[in-house]
């Protein structure tokens, strides 16, 4: 009996909250419509995602198989961007590299945001000793250049797609934890949380229904703006040889392989780098315009 | 602060312990001899790797307190010597880079702030955006290709520190850093220009140049130093990628090689060293505040 009562009260409170969200949503729609830049950049982002999904069909040739007799050919009608040392088609490898890079980046960004949000929420909502320990740890991670540790972790654990993502996650979550904690601290002391607590709503419910939805916009903005940086960090680790391993088509790795042929086959280092540049630039522009929409105060 | 050092070094120690691959067999295999089981055990014992994990860590940390970070497996030299060797190269590169950054980004940042929302501002912001979106190692490769290979102005790889060899790596880092720093300079100057004293100075009929150089810049220096100080920490630690592109004999290059060779004492030492350097830099930046702005000293008392 008591349980049902609690639930209905909890539900009532969340309904009010939902109305507020609805209001924000309609505002949001009009802001999205008013912001033409955002639509253009979103279209480009969707295009990149489509290229990544349909890469195997878009690539003119097999990115993993090449004939040695075709090795290091200059760009031609048959191989638009030339071939690498194994005779593989560079264009096909770049197209399929979109899949690898985008997949790794999205996994990384989501993982980092989830871990950071979890730690930040725990610290911010429960306070006390939990907060002290978690925040000490967070500060420790922030007072150190992350990429150094990421290189060490990825290198020692052995280069692979999963280890790269884990290594970069270990060094990147702290920023999100700090952000989410400060947001949660603000929300936790508001009246509607106290109301929910008085109604006997379970802690789990409060966090899921009230705290998380309110922290989400800022986390999404930060994550969106981080996509470009994360993509470059992944490419950097692969470039050092601690990320994706051959023969995976991955841009950073392709640059590493192309580096040795900079004199004889410069196209091997020009085009993969250009691919990173274009994709990162689009995600950076998209992230900036998303911030303008979700958080107009910043502009 | 001490907590960070212990935490970071412990984390790295855990990693080397958990990691796949055995440093002993790696070490002996490079010697290119037939390895007997006894020799492996003997080496393991000599290196102290047969002891429990925590004992190993405490022994190592005790050594560090005495300035002894152990011996590098691959170079058969004390880790401290290797670190100092690599750090000399990195420090030199960092100093030259900072000079380049200041030369590039201060004038451009100020110019773009003064000409806000006019053509120069758009050009500078565009350049900065392009720079931020390019991976630093790709900038390096492009510079290497054009200036090293096509124009033959600079050497393409060096194992020693030379004056001509430092230009390209430093320029690469400077382009990458300036793209961020230019924006920050612009923001700081714009903020300063909004203050009342600027309006006052204009009302007194001072020329815009005088206002900029005599009034705005001295006030803007403090935040600019802070921002630059943070990047110095980054420069001294994490430029392995650039050092690798140009085969620059720095600490990052050394660390990458140490990782490939499973030279655990050297990796341990490297991570701890970077943590220390990073902290010292932050401390120096903090201390430079009161030196640059005596007002803060008064307030602190």
Percent of chain A at pLDDT exceeding 70? 88
pLDDT of residue B96: 92
pLDDT in tens, A132-157: 888 888 888 887 777 888 888 888 88
Q: What is the pTM (predicted TM-score) of this model?
A: 0.84
Confidence of residue B52 (pLDDT cuts 50, 70, 90): confident
pLDDT of residue B225: 83
pLDDT of residue A286: 92
SS (H, E, C) B55-104: HHHHHHHHHHHCCCCCECCCCCCEHHHHHHHHHHHHHHHHHHHHHHHHHH
A27: CB partners within 8 A, 6+ apart = none
Q: Which of chain A's residues have a Cβ under 8 Å away from the Cβ of B262?
A: 156
- Per-residue tokens: A170: 């270990």
Q: Is B267 in contact with A152 (Cβ distance < 8 A)?
A: yes
The angle subtended at Cα A39 by Cα B179 and Cα A283, nearest 5°, is 35
pLDDT of residue A8: 37
Lowest mean pLDDT among A114-118, B1-5, B93-97, B232-236: B1-5
Nearest by CB to B278, from A144, A239, A266: name it: A144
The residue that leads in pLDDT, B157 or A286, is A286
Q: Is B136 in contact with A236 (Cβ distance < 8 A)?
A: yes
Q: Which of chain A's residues have a Cβ under 8 Å away from the Cβ of B135?
A: 232, 235-236, 239, 252, 255, 273, 276-277, 280
Lowest mean pLDDT among A125-134, A246-255, B143-152, B291-300: B291-300
pLDDT in tens, B110-143: 999 988 888 989 999 999 999 989 998 899 989 8
| 3-class secondary structure, A83 | strand
Q: Is A273 in contact with B138 (Cβ distance < 8 A)?
A: yes
Over range B205-212, report the average pLDDT. 87
How many residues in chain A?
Answer: 299
Q: Is A228 in contact with B259 (Cβ distance < 8 A)?
A: no
Lowest mean pLDDT among B22-31, B44-53, B104-113, B275-284: B22-31
pLDDT in tens, A49-106: 999 898 888 877 777 777 767 766 777 777 777 777 777 888 888 898 899 899 999 9
pLDDT(B234) > 90: no
> ipTM of this predicted complex?
0.83
Percent of chain B at pLDDT exceeding 90? 16
Q: What is the DSSP string of A164-221?
A: HHHHHHHHHHHHHHHHHHHHHHHHHTSHHHHHHHHTT--HHHIIIIIIHHHHHHHHHH
**Closest CA–CA distance from residue B207 to any residue of chain A (Å):** 30
pLDDT of residue A103: 92
Lowest mean pLDDT among A13-22, B32-41, B253-262: A13-22
Percent of chain A at pLDDT exceeding 90? 24
pLDDT(A16) > 50: no
Question: Residue A247, preceding bond cis, omega within 30 degrees?
Answer: yes
Q: Is A152 in contact with B260 (Cβ distance < 8 A)?
A: no
Residue of A nearest to B18 (CA): A157
pLDDT(B275) > 80: yes
pLDDT of residue A3: 40
Residue of B nearest to A277 (CA): B134
Q: Is A284 in contact with B133 (Cβ distance < 8 A)?
A: yes
pLDDT in tens, B138-181: 999 898 888 887 787 777 666 666 777 788 889 999 999 999 89
pLDDT of residue B217: 87
């Amino acid at each position: 009996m008591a349980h049902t009562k609690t639930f209905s009260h909890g539900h009532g409170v969340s309904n009010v909250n939902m109305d507020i969200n609805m209001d924000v949503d309609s505002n949001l729609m009009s802001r999205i419509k008013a912001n033409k830049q955002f639509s253009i950049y979103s279209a480009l982002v969707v295009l990149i995602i489509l290229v990544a999904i349909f890469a195997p069909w878009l690539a003119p040739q097999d990115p993993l198989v090449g004939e040695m007799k075709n090795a290091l050919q200059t760009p031609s009608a048959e191989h638009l961007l030339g071939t690498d040392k194994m005779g593989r088609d560079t264009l096909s490898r770049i197209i399929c590299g979109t899949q690898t890079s985008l997949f790794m980046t999205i996994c990384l960004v989501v993982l980092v945001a989830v871990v950071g949000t979890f730690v930040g929420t725990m610290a911010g909502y429960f306070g006390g000793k939990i907060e002290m320990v978690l925040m000490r740890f967070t500060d420790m991670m922030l007072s150190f250049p992350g990429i150094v540790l990421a290189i060490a972790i990825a290198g020692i654990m052995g280069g692979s797609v999963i280890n790269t993502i884990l290594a970069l996650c270990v060094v990147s979550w702290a920023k999100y934890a700090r952000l989410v904690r400060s947001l949660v601290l603000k929300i936790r002391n508001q009246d509607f949380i106290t109301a929910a607590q008085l109604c006997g709503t379970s802690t789990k419910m409060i966090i899921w229904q009230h705290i998380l939805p309110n922290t989400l916009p800022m986390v999404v903005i930060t994550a969106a703006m981080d996509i470009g940086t994360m993509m470059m960090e992944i490419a950097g680790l692969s470039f050092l040889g601690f990320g994706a391993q051959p023969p995976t088509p991955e841009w950073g790795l392709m640059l590493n392989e192309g580096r040795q042929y900079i004199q004889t086959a410069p196209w091997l280092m020009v085009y993969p780098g250009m691919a990173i540049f274009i994709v990162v630039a689009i995600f950076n522009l998209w992230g900036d315009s998303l911030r303008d929409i979700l958080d107009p105060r910043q502009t | 602060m001490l907590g960070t050092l212990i935490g970071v070094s412990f984390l790295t120690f855990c990693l080397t312990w958990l990691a796949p691959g055995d440093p002993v067999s790696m070490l002996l295999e490079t010697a290119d001899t037939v390895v007997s089981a006894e020799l492996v055990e003997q080496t393991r014992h000599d290196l102290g790797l047969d002891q429990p994990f925590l004992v190993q860590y405490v022994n190592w940390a005790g050594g560090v307190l005495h300035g002894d970070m152990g011996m590098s497996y691959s170079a058969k030299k004390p880790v401290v010597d290797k670190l100092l060797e690599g750090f000399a190269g990195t420090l030199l590169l960092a100093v030259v880079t900072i000079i380049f950054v200041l030369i590039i980004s201060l004038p451009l940042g100020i110019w773009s702030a003064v000409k806000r929302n006019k053509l120069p501002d758009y050009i500078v912001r565009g350049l900065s955006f392009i720079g931020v979106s390019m991976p630093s190692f790709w900038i390096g490769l492009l510079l290497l290709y054009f200036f090293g290979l096509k124009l033959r102005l600079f050497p393409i790889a060096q194992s020693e520190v030379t004056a001509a060899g430092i230009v390209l790596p430093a320029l690469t880092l400077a382009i990458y850093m300036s793209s961020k720093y230019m924006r920050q300079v612009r923001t700081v100057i714009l903020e300063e220009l909004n203050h009342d004293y600027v309006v006052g100075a204009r009302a007194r009929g001072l020329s815009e140049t005088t206002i900029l150089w005599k009034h705005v810049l001295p006030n803007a220096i403090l935040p600019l130093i802070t921002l630059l100080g943070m990047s110095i920490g980054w420069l001294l630690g994490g430029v392995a990628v650039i050092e690798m592109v140009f085969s620059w004999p720095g600490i990052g290059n050394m660390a990458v090689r140490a990782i490939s060779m499973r030279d655990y004492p050297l990796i341990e030492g490297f991570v701890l060293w970077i943590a220390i350097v990073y902290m010292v830099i932050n401390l120096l930046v903090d201390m430079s505040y009161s030196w640059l702005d005596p007002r803060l000293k008064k307030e602190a008392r």
